[in-house]
Amino acid sequence: MSDAVAPPPSSYKDSPTAWAILAVGVFAYFSAVAQRTSFGVASVEAADRFHTAAAGLSMFSMMQVLVYAVLQVPVGVLVDRYGPRILITIGAVAMAAGQLQLAAAESVTGGVVGRILVGAGDAATFVCVMRLLPVWFSALKVPMLTQVVGMTGNLGQLFSVIPFAVLLHATGWVPSFVAMAGMCVLAAVLSGLVLRNNPPGVRVLNDSMSLASVRASMAESLKEPGTQLGFWVHFTVQFAGNTFALMWAYPYLQNAQGLDPTQASFVMTVYVVFNVVVAPLVGKLSARFARRRSALVLTFCLVAWSGWAVLLLWPGHAPIAVVYVCVCMIALSLPASMMAFDIVRAFNPPRRGGTATGLANVGGFAASLLAIYVTGLVLDLLYGAGISPRLYDGEAFRPAIAAQGVVALVGTIAILRCTHKVRKVHGPDAV
């Protein structure tokens, strides 16, 4: 494997060209998150369109997340070899195809195929955008720009919560998903025309990667305790907010909290706006307390689950002000999860940056996959046993959401174990 050369000359760092490339990269990620979360906005309509129960409906998001998670490591290896430009462009094309497939689908199988394509294209976006940051920007800016990328993704979710939701209710299933495909086409065109893997004359790709070198890079990344910690941080922190946004927000808010679709959309708007507002603060905390990141992420995880605890334990419907506060507490998990990549960068050299980032990014989506399935399974079991009078019964959501706590507990234990390993290898103040 050929090592990456020294960073680009300072004239390229933070240059107007760098900012233009970042702008297109974050638009591609904005589009990817909008596609990712669009089905969650349409989940109530999807249940009617595809005539399926909670577990069947969760298959759409489960398969999307499964494909996303499985492809993270291959994408990380490929971006180290071929660069972000081609992968982001191909990913946008795949998402456009997926949304067109979903628009036309009339069966569960056809719809799931569409979401698989969306998951595959989405998988090729985030890791690739993250790969651009250390190439085009100075080291001090990278932690903050990491949060900017995540913040822009949250705005993509806001797009699905407001414009897409309005379009869905105004024009119906097919036109709204066709419009989302059009956004992907625009992202593909801009990415192909504007993105550059590296400045002229500067080599940052492992362009001689063989199968043996790929195995070696993966082995080195996996062996590094910092990569392991990054995986479990992402696993533990991200899934609470991700699962809520991807699948269960609208069914929960409408059935368990008694909100109408307009009120639920406004709650989710606040959810996204809060993410955008707090992301820079999380980035600053991550940079300032780099040697205490494990404690920070566990604190954020505690805040998120405290929000869920209040909602699940509140008798009947919680007051709307309480719902807003708790949803914002849950939302904190998304920007906090981005600290996983700060941890990965701190302990891996640039030549395997994509591979290590991909490995860590698997964590949150693997946890999301488990949480989405567990929630749907509990809802179906309660309904099938006659305990719940209807599928999305408000009281049934209490044990269904609470079951996700098992995933958080497993992740928390793993974070503590990996933190100990990192400090043993790299020193007591390493993280």
Q: Please give the average per-residue pLDDT across 166-186, as a whole number.
A: 94
Residue 6: what pLDDT?
A: 46
Q: What is the pTM of this model?
A: 0.74
Q: Please give the average per-residue pLDDT across 189-204, as a whole number.
A: 84
Q: Predicted confidence band at 3 (pLDDT cuts at 50, 70, 90)?
A: very low
Residues sharing a CB contact under 8 Å with residue 324, sequence separation 6 or more, in sequence order? 267, 270
User: Tens digit of pLDDT for each residue in 6-55?
Assistant: 444 557 788 899 999 999 999 999 999 999 888 878 877 887 888 776 66
Which domains does the chain show, CATH number per domain?
16-206 (1.20.1250.20), 214-426 (1.20.1250.20)
Q: Please give the average per-residue pLDDT across 313-321, as a whole number.
A: 94
Residue 205: what pLDDT?
A: 63
Residue 208: what pLDDT?
A: 60
Residue 116: what pLDDT?
A: 93
Whether the predicted pLDDT of 92 surpasses 90:
yes
Higher pLDDT, 317 or 429: 317
Residue 201: what pLDDT?
A: 67
Question: What is the rounded distance in angstroms from the CA atom of residue 117 to the CA atom of residue 177?
Answer: 14
Q: Predicted confidence band at 295 (pLDDT cuts at 50, 70, 90)?
A: very high
Residue 46: what pLDDT?
A: 84
Question: What is the rounded distance in angstroms from the CA atom of residue 39 to the CA atom of residue 428?
Answer: 44
Residue 429: what pLDDT?
A: 84
Q: Please give the average per-residue pLDDT across 380-393, as a whole number.
A: 86
Contact 83, 197 (CB under 8 A): yes
User: Tens digit of pLDDT for each residue in 320-346?
Assistant: 999 999 999 999 998 899 899 899 988
Q: Please give the average per-residue pLDDT across 59-86, as a whole number.
A: 85
